[in-house]
Amino acid sequence: MSSSSRIPVPAVIAVVLRGDEILLVCRKTPPDAGMWGFPGGKMEFGETIEQAAIRELQEETGIIAEPDGVLTVLDSFHKDETGNLTHHFILPAIACRWISGEPVAADDAAIAEWVPLKDLCNGERELIVAVDRVAELAVEAARSAGVSC
């Protein structure tokens, strides 16, 4: 990371539940290529975090959803093989209510699919850090809102 670009990058993740499933994507490009996480990406100038989450969700999966609020905010740090910091993202995790569509991978997503919550941590997928914790927050928020998961 050059000294001129040593500022955190604002980005978002969209967390979508549908019944007892959660939407995940397998990342196509670094820094998390081959790992599973939530749809999301960098914000565009003038976008709210909710607008960015819905846009990234639709671009990466084709899913239509509405934002339901912020679940948490994460810092994501990535280092190279020598331990030097290469990326720093600030990621609000936005709970999104599924409206329609089935996932079709596009843009930065190699694969997009609904994953049963019971299978989230079964070791079949290499998860990006904090995916399990954010999923738990989404389930808790949905239950608090009267949605059964």
- Per residue in 13-59, pLDDT tens? 999 999 999 999 999 998 889 999 999 999 999 999 999 999 999 99
pTM: 0.91
Contact residues for 124 (Cβ-Cβ < 8 A; gap 6+): none
> What does the pLDDT read at residue 144?
87
Indicate the fold that domain 3-144 takes in CATH: Nucleoside Triphosphate Pyrophosphohydrolase (3.90.79)
Burial of 9 (0-12, 13-18, 19+ CB in 10 A): middle
- Per residue in 48-103, pLDDT tens? 999 999 999 999 999 999 999 999 999 999 889 999 998 899 999 999 999 999 99
> What does the pLDDT read at residue 148?
61
The Cα–Cα gap between 58 and 74 comes to: 22
